[in-house]
Amino acid sequence: MPSRAVIAIDRAVSDLRRGSMIVVRDSRHGETALVQAAEVIGPDGLAAMVRLTGSQPSLTLTRNRVAALLSAPGEAAIQSFALPVGSSSGFVQNLADPIASLASDPDLKSEDEHRNLSVVQEPDEGLAALSIRIAKFARLLPAMVVARVPGLEVAEARAWAVDRGLLLVDTSDIRDYPDEIARSLSRVADARVPLAEAEDCRIVAFRPADGGIEHLALVIGTPDPTAPVLTRLHSQCLTGDLLASLRCDCGEQLRGAIHEIAQAGGGVVIYLAQEGRDIGLINKLRAYELQDHGFDTIDANRQLGFDDDERVYRPAAVILQALGMTQVRLMTNNPGKLEQLAAHGINVVDRVPHIFQSNDHNAAYLQTKFERGGHLV
């Protein structure tokens, strides 16, 4: 049975993606707020929040997004703009989404106005910061409209939400969710799937308790779990893996790993449902659009409000352990994978470099990964 945190966050993600409001309660600091994802807020969204709470909403953003808007952002990881009375949904979306600010519609252009907004530095584990985490879980832009409910005791928050037909999520559920969802992965299918580069291959599927997208293990040959297993952690890339996009080297890395593991006699590819460094396909496409306007891959993610890399590798560690594999020879150029696997109980005995020839479309992308992303050559 899924835990309370898993059920609550799963429902919250669905509500936010539909454009609905949810209630977030911070029991630690005695706060309750009505929140809504900025990118899907409707024309009457701000007015509805004012009507329900009696307070003027603010727009919560990450420091990366604020830095794209202001020349001198604060130091806090999460920051909020107090929205002026009468602000439109278009104004909010322009602040939240750099793609909107590229539009030619003068109603969306409000550069001078947003530079005069007052910025509030939010605490790292406060209500606003944890609301941003839900937006990331939902693969939405990390930008939330937050209207605090004044004078409401924390103990009264659930009844307040129920009376208005709204879901309530406690900040403790948001904190617990990533670890719980990784621990909850269960093996749901195991089938022989011959591949062009590895005819002796099984695909094992692992599903999280919230019923979300499955992660896969491609078990090639008969790897010995008592010895270090040749392993590749590969994050899902629809454009590269399936469509053979030339903007990245993902497809080549996947097929190259399968070939090398088969040639070595056995190993495993962990195929993680973490599209676009775990910002999701839509946000990856937004990042591509920004790259076409001159930003590199890291700055494009930061313009959208994300960190350079949002991926976590605890699910990969859980899958490896479920397969009986605790020692690996890891095919990667990314030191973050080495560090995270080690932190979650997997002994990385060796790093196997995994580099492919660039092309005219991805040369700058690969150069950025090595020069700014810390990837190893």
Residue 30's CATH number: 3.90.870.10
Structure tokens at 176: 């617990």
Its domain, for residue 138, covers 4-179
Q: Of 127, 159, 179, which residue sits at a domain end?
A: 179
Q: Does 235 lie in the same domain as 143?
A: no
Specify the CATH number for the domain of residue 341: 3.40.50.10990
Residues 302, 307, 309, 314: which is the catalytic one? Answer: 309
What pLDDT was estimated at residue 367? 65
Q: Does 352 lie in the same domain as 226?
A: yes
Res 47 pLDDT > 80: yes
What pLDDT was estimated at residue 106? 46
pLDDT tens string 238-284: 999 999 998 888 899 999 999 999 999 999 999 999 999 999 999 99
In a domain, 130, yes or no: yes
Closest CA to 148 of 53, 236, 83: 53
In the residue annotation, 51 being an active-site residue is answered as no
Q: Does 148 lie in the same domain as 29?
A: yes
Confidence grade of residue 333 (pLDDT, cut at 50, 70, 90): confident
Q: Does 225 lie in the same domain as 139?
A: no
pLDDT tens string 112-129: 556 678 889 999 999 999
pLDDT tens string 243-254: 999 888 889 999
Q: Of 179, 206, 228, which residue sits at a domain end?
A: 179
Q: Does 212 lie in the same domain as 148?
A: no
Q: Of 179, 210, 229, which residue sits at a domain end?
A: 179
What pLDDT was estimated at residue 146? 98
Query: Region 312-325: what's the mean pLDDT?
Result: 97
Query: Region 196-205: what's the mean pLDDT?
Result: 96
Question: How many other β-carbons are positioned within 10 Å of the β-carbon of residue 120?
Answer: 15
Residues 63, 148, 286, 311: which is the catalytic one? Answer: 311
In a domain, 121, yes or no: yes
pTM recorded for the entire structure: 0.91
Helices (H), the chain: 4-17, 45-53, 63-69, 89-96, 98-101, 111-115, 127-137, 157-163, 171-183, 250-264, 275-278, 281-291, 297-303, 314-322, 335-343, 363-371
Q: Does 138 lie in the same domain as 199?
A: no
Q: Does 133 lie in the same domain as 259?
A: no
In the residue annotation, 97 being an active-site residue is answered as no
What pLDDT was estimated at residue 104? 44
Query: Region 300-324: what's the mean pLDDT?
Result: 96
Cα-based angle 5, 36, 58 (whole degrees, multiple of 5): 120
In a domain, 306, yes or no: no
Place of tokens 């946000």: 283
In a domain, 300, yes or no: no
Q: Does 135 lie in the same domain as 214?
A: no
CA dihedral 269, 317, 306, 130 (to 10 degrees): 150
Secondary structure (DSSP) of 137-187: HTTS-SEEEEEE-TT--GGGHHHHHHHTT--EEEHHHHHHHHHHHHHT-EE
Query: Region 176-185: what's the mean pLDDT?
Result: 94
